[in-house]
């Protein structure tokens, strides 16, 4: 159980304190480089300059699914191993994932207007991503609605795993049904359909946003651990005051 040894809140606090400056630094460098390359990359043969929205839209889309997968993994930690750090990881990831999903929807709408001619259509891809966003919001609301923290965590974990069915639907919606959204360009059978001159800036931006996500997640987890400790101390102080 070598991995589980690290899943100790105190160990996590010291490990994340050392990691955060590095992940934050590399994220800033990757995003600075990625954005520079994104503006230097040639325009697309069809979409022209508008294609540059891809460099932020696609990382947000990937991370919206990555974030939810992280929630699902934490949910297994909550339900199977009953591990407190899994609950902290779950609670901390939900608002970050929701934000990335919202940014994916927003940048997608701004891209859709000039290219497709509409901000929004109810096709399978767009609708399933909206469902993903609503799942994130529902998870946060469910947690907030239950006062007892352990029960709140378990209820949110069950809902997370039920909602995980939606992640493959988001990914394969463009293959299973005809949609206005085009099929996958990067993670597909037969390799990427994006020319290398446009693909590299995209991958560097994606690396930067992934590290940004992980950095924010670690900071949020630390805050949550400390918040819980303060609550315990306050409860203890209140008990002593009445005694």
Partner 1 sequence: MTRKGRRLILIGSALTVLALAAGLILTALNDTIVFFRSPSEIAEHKVAPGARLRLGGLVEAGSVAKQGTAVRFTVTDGNAQVPVTYTGILPDLFREGQGVVAEGVVQTDGSFKADTVLAKHDERYMPREVADALKKQGHWKEGEPGGPPAPAPVRSTVQ
174 contributes a contact to partner 1 by CB under 8 A: yes
Q: How far apart are CA 102 and CA 198, in angstroms?
A: 24
Verify binding: residue 11, partner 1, rule CB under 8 A.
no
Token reading at 180 = 């206005």
Q: Is 39 in the site for partner 1 (CB under 8 A)?
A: no
Task: Tell me the Ramachandran region of residue 148: left when phi exceeds 0, alpha when psi lies from -120 to 50, beta otherwise.
Answer: beta
Instruction: Sketch the per residue contact string, 105 through 144, with partner 1: x for CB under 8 A, - otherwise.
Output: ---------xxxxx--xxxx--------------------
Counting contacts by CB under 8 A, is residue 223 touching partner 1?
no
Cβ closest to partner 1, residue 1 vs residue 243? 1
Structure tokens at 40: 């230097």
The three-class DSSP label of residue 82 is: coil
CA distances from 151 to 65, 144, 218 (A): 25, 11, 23
Interface residue with partner 1 among 197, 232, 237, 238 (CB under 8 A) is 197
Selected from 56, 71, 105, 198, the binder of partner 1 by CB under 8 A is: 198
DSSP string of 1-35?
-HHHHH-SHHHHHHHHHHHHHHHHHHHHHHHHHHH
Nearer to partner 1, 175 or 234 (CB): 175
DSSP state letters, 127-146: HHHHHHHHHHHHHHHHHHH-
Minimum distance from CB of 202 to partner 1 (Å)? 9
In the bound state with partner 1, the residue whose beta carbon lies nearer, of 21 and 48, is: 48
φ, ψ dihedrals at 41, nearest 5°:
-65, 150
Q: Which is nearer to partner 1, 196 or 243 (CB)?
A: 196
Confirm or reject binding of residue 162 to partner 1 (CB under 8 A): yes
Residue 92: C-alpha distances to residues 86, 100, 202, 217 (Å): 10, 14, 27, 6
CB of 188 to partner 1, least distance (A): 8
Q: By CB under 8 A, is residue 218 in contact with partner 1? A: no
Q: Which of 4, 15, 80, 237 binds partner 1 (CB under 8 A)?
A: 80
Q: Which of 73, 79, 110, 140 binds partner 1 (CB under 8 A)?
A: 79
> CA nearest 217: which of 8, 61, 31, 12?
12
Distance CA 150, CA 157 (A): 11
Does position 42 bind partner 1 by CB under 8 A?
Answer: yes
Residues that bind partner 1 (CB under 8 A): 42-47, 51, 54, 76, 79-81, 114-118, 121-124, 161-162, 164-165, 169, 174, 176-180, 182-185, 188, 190-191, 193-198
């Amino acid at each position: 159980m070598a991995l589980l040894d690290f899943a100790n809140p105190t160990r996590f606090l010291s490990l994340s304190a050392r990691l955060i400056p590095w992940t934050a630094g590399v994220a800033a460098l990757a995003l600075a480089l990625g954005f520079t390359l994104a503006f230097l990359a040639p325009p697309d043969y069809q979409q022209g300059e508008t294609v540059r929205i891809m460099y932020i839209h696609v990382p947000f889309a990937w991370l919206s699914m990555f974030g939810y997968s992280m929630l699902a993994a934490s949910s297994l930690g909550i339900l199977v191993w009953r591990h407190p750090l899994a609950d902290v990881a779950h609670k901390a990831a939900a608002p970050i994932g929701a934000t990335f999903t919202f940014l994916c929807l927003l940048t997608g709408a701004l891209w859709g207007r000039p290219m497709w001619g509409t901000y929004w259509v109810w096709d399978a891809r767009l609708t399933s991503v909206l469902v993903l966003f609503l799942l994130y919001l529902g998870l946060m609301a469910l947690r907030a609605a239950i006062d007892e923290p352990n029960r709140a965590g378990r209820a949110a974990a069950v809902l997370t795993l039920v909602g995980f069915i939606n992640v493959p639907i988001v990914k394969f919606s463009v293959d299973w049904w005809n949609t206005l959204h085009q099929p996958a360009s990067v993670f597909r059978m037969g390799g990427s359909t994006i020319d290398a001159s446009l693909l590299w800036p995209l991958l560097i931006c994606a690396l930067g946003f992934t590290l940004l996500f992980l950095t924010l997640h670690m900071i949020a987890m630390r805050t949550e651990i400390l918040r819980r400790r303060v609550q315990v101390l306050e409860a203890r102080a209140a008990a002593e005051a009445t005694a």
